[in-house]
């Protein structure tokens, strides 16, 4: 019986929802959101800030795997996120401060976006029309579901 209760407690403590996020992980997520970059890029920036040299994906990956699957944030990432959040509180946090450049939209990007939007709207309209036609084709003269008027 004790084993069953231990299993239930372990299941309750699993991190399935946002309210169970550790504070260090939440800080990484906040910095990534404010800088509009991926969490992996936060690790790259933190490594460069802490060690004074650029990093490769191979150097960052072991730390990031521990972060993703064990919620273990390295000390250098923790210090970087705290520094970045202090800058945010002071109103000085910007992507440009860390060398993050936004690429301007090209004509190809805009045309691709318009094309996808047109395809999406077309698919939705076709689905709505087909649903309406199927209702007209297969509807019965009597009422099947309440409320019937």
What DSSP assignment string belongs to 18-32?
Answer: GGG--HHHHHHHHHH
> Is residue 17, in this structure, part of any structural domain at all?
yes
Return the pLDDT at 101: 84
Name 55's Cβ contacts closer than 8 Å, sequence gap at least 6: 44, 47, 48
Tell me the three state secondary structure of residue 145: coil
Exposed / middle / buried, residue 17 (Cβ in 10 Å: 0-12, 13-18, 19+): exposed
> Is residue 48, in this structure, part of any structural domain at all?
yes
> Is residue 106, in this structure, part of any structural domain at all?
no
> Is residue 79, in this structure, part of any structural domain at all?
yes
- Separation of alpha carbons 97 and 92, rounded Å: 8
> Is residue 118, in this structure, part of any structural domain at all?
no
Buried/exposed 40-59: b ≥16 CB within 10 Å, e otherwise: ebbbbbbbbeeeeeebeeee
Q: Which residue spans within the chain are E strands per DSSP?
A: none
Is residue 121 predicted with pLDDT exceeding 90? Answer: yes
Is residue 11 predicted with pLDDT exceeding 70? Answer: no
Q: What is the pLDDT of residues 90-101, one digit of tens each?
A: 988 888 888 888
Is residue 68 predicted with pLDDT exceeding 80? Answer: yes
Of 77, 74, 70, 69, the closest CA to residue 42 belongs to: 77
* Residue numbers of the domain that contains 63: 2-98
**What share of the chain in percent tops pLDDT 70?**
81
Number of compact structural domains in the chain: 1
> Is residue 57, in this structure, part of any structural domain at all?
yes
Name 49's Cβ contacts closer than 8 Å, sequence gap at least 6: 76, 80, 83
pTM of the model: 0.62
> Is residue 26, in this structure, part of any structural domain at all?
yes
> Is residue 149, in this structure, part of any structural domain at all?
no
Greatest pairwise CA separation for the chain in angstroms: 77
- Separation of alpha carbons 93 and 31, rounded Å: 9
């Amino acid at each position: 019986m004790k084993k069953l209760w231990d299993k239930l407690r372990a299941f309750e403590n699993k991190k399935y929802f946002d309210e169970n996020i550790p504070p260090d992980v939440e800080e990484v997520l906040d910095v990534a959101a404010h800088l509009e970059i991926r969490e992996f890029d936060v690790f790259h920036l933190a490594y460069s800030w802490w060690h004074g040299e650029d990093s490769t994906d191979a150097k960052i990956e072991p730390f990031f795997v521990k972060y993703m699957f064990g919620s273990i944030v390295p000390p250098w990432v923790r210090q970087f996120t705290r520094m970045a959040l202090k800058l945010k509180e002071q109103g000085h946090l910007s992507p440009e401060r860390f060398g993050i450049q936004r690429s301007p939209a090209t004509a190809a990007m805009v045309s691709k976006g318009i094309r996808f939007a047109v395809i999406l709207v077309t698919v939705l309209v076709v689905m709505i029309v087909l649903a309406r036609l199927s209702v007209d084709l297969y509807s019965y003269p009597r009422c099947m579901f309440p409320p019937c008027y």
